Homo-oligomer: A and B are copies of this chain.
Amino acid sequence: MPRTTEGSPEPDWTDPDCPVARTLDLVGDRWSLLVVRDAMDGARSFTEFQRRTGIARNILTDRLRKLTAHGLLAQRTAPSGRRQEYVLTNAGRALFPVILTLRQWGERHAFAPGEPHSTLVDRHGTPVPELAPTGTDGTLLDADTTHVRKTR
């Protein structure tokens, strides 16, 4: 994680031109994305995050702070009286496709065939279909049919 010099929002990226690298600078550690995952599934309080992830409390403190500092979470005092809560901002909610693709890759490649795992379902309880990248012309895209154009 690049050091935040305090004062400037985000100083030194590992690879300033690459959006992938920048994103990983913000959430590319062991825990941040699991916190976001749980936030998407309804966790709001410190202890709830702690219970769900099993992360050490000091690390959780740090992650919540960083996610808040980076604008993925917002901290507010709960409407019902006297308690803190952390809720996703728009930027945080926008990580949904990232979490989803991580989930879908995991379902396919990190479980033995037939091994049970949790599933993401929509309102009707229907499993969410596989997300497939397509071009403007509707063709499927993958690593072989695309490439990075360096910033000019």
Contact = CB atoms under 8 A, between A and B. Distances in A.
A3 to B, nearest CB: 14
Contacts of A68: none
A128 to B, nearest CB: 6
Interface in A103-152: 103-111, 116-123, 125-126, 128-129, 131-136, 139, 141-152
Interface string A33-64: 11001001110000000000110000000000
A12 interface: no
Interface size band for A: 35 or more
A148 B118 contact: yes
A78 interface: no
A40 B144 CA distance: 7
Given A91-B109, A93-B143, A149-B119, A102 B133 contact: no
Contact of A105 (B98, B120, B148): B98
Nearest to A34: B21
A97 interface: yes
Nearest to A126: B136
A88 interface: yes
A77 interface: no
Given A109-B94, A128-B133, A143-B88, A23 B122 contact: no
A95 interface: yes
